[in-house]
Structure 1
Amino acid sequence: MSDLHRLSIRELSEGLAQAKFSSRELTEHYLKRIAKIDTQVQSYITVTAEQALAQADAADAAIKAGHATTLTGLPIAHKDIFCTQGIKTTAGSKMLDNFISPYDATVVAKGKAAGLVTLGKVNMDEFAMGSTSENPHFGSTKNPWNLEHVPGGSSGGSAAVVAADLAPFATGTDTGGSIRQPASFCGLTGLKPTYGRVSRFGMIAYASSMDQGGPMARSAEDCAYLMNVMAGHDAKDSTSVQKEVDDYVSNLNGTSVKGLRIGIPKQYFNVQGLDADVKARVEESLKKLEEMGAILVEIDLNMTEAYVPTYYLIAPAEASSNLQRFDGVRYGYRCENPVDLMDLYKRSRSEGFGTEVQRRILIGTYALSAGYYDAYYVKAQKVRRLIQQDFLKAFESVDVIAAPSAPTTAYKIGANLSPTEMYLGDIYTLAVNLAGLPAINAPVGFDKNNLPVGLQLIGNYWSESQLLSVVHQYQQATDWHTKRAAIAEENA
């Protein structure tokens, strides 16, 4: 029973169905690991041990009665941006440190309906704005591969819990790379679905036209199991698309790699700042896919230089609008002894929000202000359409597009990158959110410092099954996704 954390989702599901172990035993196993290891990783904001054990007992009863789903009794960790009824939901911010949600996000509710056991809520960049999970209020989550490095962000806690085997899988959100980049930094598989594929109801908003929830796990197969739960139309979310959902697990071998046309954007491999080790590992993974029968096709994505400026006008503009509700009046942080209403607003927001959130609110408010709206925001939306058209033109000749997930491996904690340096690190991920496309990260090796490197595959709309299938077959032919950090091998 000491190696339960080494089992895949399929193996865990089969073990529960065959009564090799119970959900309570599995949950207790993870809770012991969290108590022992997470003092070093610092991935959880809230551990819900009592609730988890109650859910595990209910799952065991459902399994015994023959009412179980495939995932009944499996533990999961939720990014602390998803509202959870009766449990603190902070979005990684001092602003919401005392917020107990009165309802469940749709993603959480679907997980409960499937019988998943919630271990707790995990750390993140404040309001999902950042790439390191160096949280100013809840502390820095560590990368399990090297505790002196960041796990990436904003879903860094989600990546760290899986990489340290403190949960078998986790939910994340991706507004500009926040699933794919931490998955790359922590050697995991992470899928950003098509915009509208997963409900945003109960997911605290950053940039509403780009936010999208998705699964993070060790393998494409594990992600497919969670996608079967997360995906689907939700009447509570006006941006959720009413479209039939695939059985992602059944379709894992549905796409043949043989004859698959993989687009290689020449602009992506000439980006200044692309680390030599990252480039080498990504090219090796593409060579492996070519050996498996894929056809590599050089393509042009001419709008590459516009990704960063376009994103960092639109996303902050939406953030400034979404975050105006946090005013110290209705819920969340409130300053002490305000002298009047204006003082209440100003001090509650300046004390409750961290530096990066304040920076993006200011940028966004400026871009939306009178006299600048047309010059900045409207122009950025027009360029956004050109970026989308650039991808759609590419998909006329290729099936998927390959790129690094990030130009470097994980940064050192406290590296104090300038905002510009941090934003440029998102060069490979931002366009996918601007265009609303699906994309996946797959681990493909390590750099000279033994830090993981990720390959990103970008698909056309609604091609999540195809992306999961291609990565699954790559993972049948390689073993990068099975590698574990030393800290993950510790037994509870």
Structure 2
Amino acid sequence: MRSIAELKRGYAAKQFTPSEIVEECLQKIHKADESLCSFITVAEEEARQQALAAETRLKAGRNRPLEGVPITYKDIINTKNIRTTNGAWIDRHQVPAEDAAVVHDLRQNGAITLGKANLHEYAFGVTSRNPFYGNVKNPWNEQYMAGGSSGGSAAAVAAGFGSGSIATDTAGSIRMPASCCGVTGLKPTYGSIRTNGVFPLSWSLDHVGPIGATVEDTALLYEHMGGTAGLFPAGGKIKIGVPTGFFNERVDEEVSRTYKQVLRNLETENIELIEVDVDFLKEATAVSRMIAAPEVTYIHEYRADLKDYGENIAPVFEKSRSFSALDYVTALQTRNIMKEKLSQLFRTIDVLITPTLPVTPPLLHDQILAGGESIDDAMIRYTCPFSLTGHPALTMPGGLTENNMPIGIQLISGWLREDILLQTALLYEARFLDSFYEERNRRCTV
């Protein structure tokens, strides 16, 4: 798939039209997605109509920033007159009357809706194994999982089905699949992108953000979905914090090796690496679950009978009812303490760097890792802390395993400092990711 910048240049030079680009995308989807299962609904008619409208605007010189750029939405985000299932059988016939706020903003900026991306049922899981709409597979190797819960979004981007996807992140659901599929995913600062019209998993932890094939594409999508723009700081060394603990514990050897190589690469740039202590984040997963569980219970309490949910999540909803009000309030207070400690750390550094995941992409049906840790626990261990504290976090490709599966690197910054986060990632992308993108296009793009 062409980059967003390439699409804009091509439209300006009349090398191709939005209708031609949409047809290319639809052909790719029809050719490969029956196996990948990255889509729940392909919005062919709507995409073609929007492409024709984009052509009219381009001819009249009234084009908008994302005019003719085809994207998808995680199927938990409302799209007017396009089915929104939340990845659940219960909602299979739901057709919203209005767009979610983020969809409205992107449509106003010219983006074309290709369809709705598959996900873990109600976004409540990390595998994107969906008993109703198919298990999302990894475009690099379909024997492996795409990650979750936004697996369809990341898989569609990696496969070149569109220029990007808009997804949600409550404990890592943008960053986990983006890492597994070798693309870029950004979880913005909590509350900075409106969640109106997005079905909640946990309102205290839910974020909406973009997934793009490159850092540059992700930055453009973020800017035009309501994010900050033009705030990149002037020159000077970027200070990157390197954790001395927690984020280097119980890590797969290939992940550790890739992470260390990225650190060596950064040392060749105008960047200062500083060791930092982040052990105060070790209990983040437990705290996050104490907040999410009562909120999940409240949201789903009267929606349907438990038997109508998939067999993977019904027991989780049942268990969620065991948390007390005291557990919930204590967790909220602990979150505030963690948030303040992390914010204090960002007074001494610009960016924190960690592996995105402590493990390489698991096989599609894995449940337990070799060391006995569950897939659910392992996958969220490094992403969950920053959904909990609300700090912006981005994953970008770091390298490949010996069997050619992607490994992601996570960057985190202070609240509302997506500018320095993206500046750092763009710098790294320009110097070190060309060969990775070539390999991804060779292996994944239809």
TM over 0.5: yes
C-alpha distance in 2 between matches for 1:361 and 1:269? 29
Which SS does the other structure have where 1:173 is aligned? strand
Q: In the alignment, which of 360, 364, 383 is matched to residue 320 of structure 2? A: 364
Q: 1:158 to 1:95 in 2, by over 3 A?
A: same
Once the two structures are TM-superposed, the CA of residue 94 in structure 1 deviates from its matched residue by 1.1
**Aligned residue in 2 for 1:477:** 431
One-letter identity of the residue aligned with 2:320: G
Q: 1:299 to 1:450 in 2, by over 3 A?
A: same
**Aligned residue in 2 for 1:298:** 275
Could you give the per-residue CA deviations for residues 417-446 of structure 1, whole angstroms, max 9, x where no partner exists?
Answer: 389441232111111011111000010101
Is structure 2 residue 184 aligned with structure 1 residue 202? no
**Aligned residue in 1 for 2:85:** 90
Q: In the alignment, which of 46, 52, 55 is matched to residue 51 of structure 1? A: 46
**Aligned residue in 2 for 1:267:** 245
Is structure 2 residue 380 aligned with structure 1 residue 426? yes
Question: Residues 306-325 of structure 1: matches in 2 within 5 Å?
Answer: 306-325=283-302
Question: Pairwise CA RMSD of aligned residues?
Answer: 1.7
**Aligned residue in 1 for 2:309:** 353
**Aligned residue in 1 for 2:62:** 67
Asked if the contact 1:80/1:121 (under 8 Å) is kept, the reply is yes
Once the two structures are TM-superposed, the CA of residue 305 in structure 1 deviates from its matched residue by 2.4
Is structure 2 residue 228 aligned with structure 1 residue 246? yes
Q: 1:320 to 1:28 in 2, by over 3 A?
A: same
Asked if the contact 2:139/2:158 (under 8 Å) is kept, the reply is yes
Is structure 2 residue 386 aligned with structure 1 residue 386? no
Count of equivalent residues:
441
Is structure 2 residue 404 aligned with structure 1 residue 404? no
Could you give the per-residue CA deviations for residues 242-265 of structure 1, whole angstroms, max 9, x where no partner exists?
Answer: xxx532xx55x6464x52111111
C-alpha distance in 2 between matches for 1:482 and 1:297? 32
**Aligned residue in 2 for 1:239:** none
Which SS does the other structure have where 2:51 is aligned? helix
**Aligned residue in 2 for 1:156:** 151
C-alpha distance in 2 between matches for 1:485 and 1:150? 19
**Aligned residue in 2 for 1:342:** none
Question: Residues 442-481 of structure 1: matches in 2 within 5 Å?
Answer: 442-478=396-432, 479=434, 480-481=436-437
Asked if the contact 1:319/1:360 (under 8 Å) is kept, the reply is no
C-alpha distance in 2 between matches for 1:290 and 1:129? 38
One-letter identity of the residue aligned with 1:315: A
C-alpha distance in 1 between matches for 2:261 and 2:421? 19
Q: In the alignment, which of 251, 266, 275 is matched to residue 289 of structure 1? A: 266
Asked if the contact 2:240/2:272 (under 8 Å) is kept, the reply is yes
C-alpha distance in 2 between matches for 1:78 and 1:206? 16
| TM-score normalised by the chain length of structure 2 | 0.95
C-alpha distance in 1 between matches for 2:373 and 2:317? 14
One-letter identity of the residue aligned with 2:103: V
Asked if the contact 2:237/2:271 (under 8 Å) is kept, the reply is yes
Q: In the alignment, which of 358, 363, 373 is matched to residue 325 of structure 2? A: 373
**Aligned residue in 2 for 1:276:** 253
C-alpha distance in 2 between matches for 1:362 and 1:351? 11
One-letter identity of the residue aligned with 2:253: A
C-alpha distance in 2 between matches for 1:424 and 1:378? 26
Stretch deviating more after TM superposition (195-204 or 418-427): 418-427
Which SS does the other structure have where 2:337 is aligned? helix
C-alpha distance in 2 between matches for 1:20 and 1:148? 38
Asked if the contact 1:144/1:485 (under 8 Å) is kept, the reply is no
Asked if the contact 1:439/1:459 (under 8 Å) is kept, the reply is yes
Once the two structures are TM-superposed, the CA of residue 362 in structure 1 deviates from its matched residue by 2.4
Asked if the contact 1:154/1:179 (under 8 Å) is kept, the reply is yes
Q: 1:119 to 1:355 in 2, by over 3 A?
A: same
Once the two structures are TM-superposed, the CA of residue 397 in structure 1 deviates from its matched residue by 1.7
Once the two structures are TM-superposed, the CA of residue 138 in structure 1 deviates from its matched residue by 1.0
C-alpha distance in 1 between matches for 2:134 and 2:442? 22
C-alpha distance in 1 between matches for 2:444 and 2:82? 27
**Aligned residue in 2 for 1:333:** none
**Aligned residue in 1 for 2:181:** 186
Q: 1:162 to 1:421 in 2, by over 3 A?
A: closer
Stretch deviating more after TM superposition (393-402 or 434-443): 393-402
**Structure 2 portions without partners, runs of 5+:** none
Once the two structures are TM-superposed, the CA of residue 385 in structure 1 deviates from its matched residue by 1.9
C-alpha distance in 2 between matches for 1:356 and 1:469? 40
Which SS does the other structure have where 1:148 is aligned? strand
One-letter identity of the residue aligned with 2:298: S
Is structure 2 residue 413 aligned with structure 1 residue 413? no
Q: 1:255 to 1:138 in 2, by over 3 A?
A: farther
**Percent identity over paired residues:** 34
**Aligned residue in 2 for 1:222:** 217
C-alpha distance in 2 between matches for 1:69 and 1:213? 22
C-alpha distance in 2 between matches for 1:246 and 1:270? 32
Once the two structures are TM-superposed, the CA of residue 46 in structure 1 deviates from its matched residue by 0.4
**Structure 1 portions without partners, runs of 5+:** 232-244, 328-348
Question: Residues 15-26 of structure 1: matches in 2 within 5 Å?
Answer: 15-26=10-21
**Aligned residue in 2 for 1:77:** 72
Asked if the contact 1:145/1:486 (under 8 Å) is kept, the reply is no
One-letter identity of the residue aligned with 1:324: E
Asked if the contact 2:86/2:123 (under 8 Å) is kept, the reply is yes
Q: 1:269 to 1:210 in 2, by over 3 A?
A: closer
Asked if the contact 1:406/1:426 (under 8 Å) is kept, the reply is yes
Which SS does the other structure have where 1:216 is aligned? strand
Could you give the per-residue CA deviations for residues 80-126 of structure 1, whole angstroms, max 9, x where no partner exists?
Answer: 01101111101111121111111110111112111211111010111
Asked if the contact 1:191/1:216 (under 8 Å) is kept, the reply is yes
C-alpha distance in 1 between matches for 2:156 and 2:107? 20
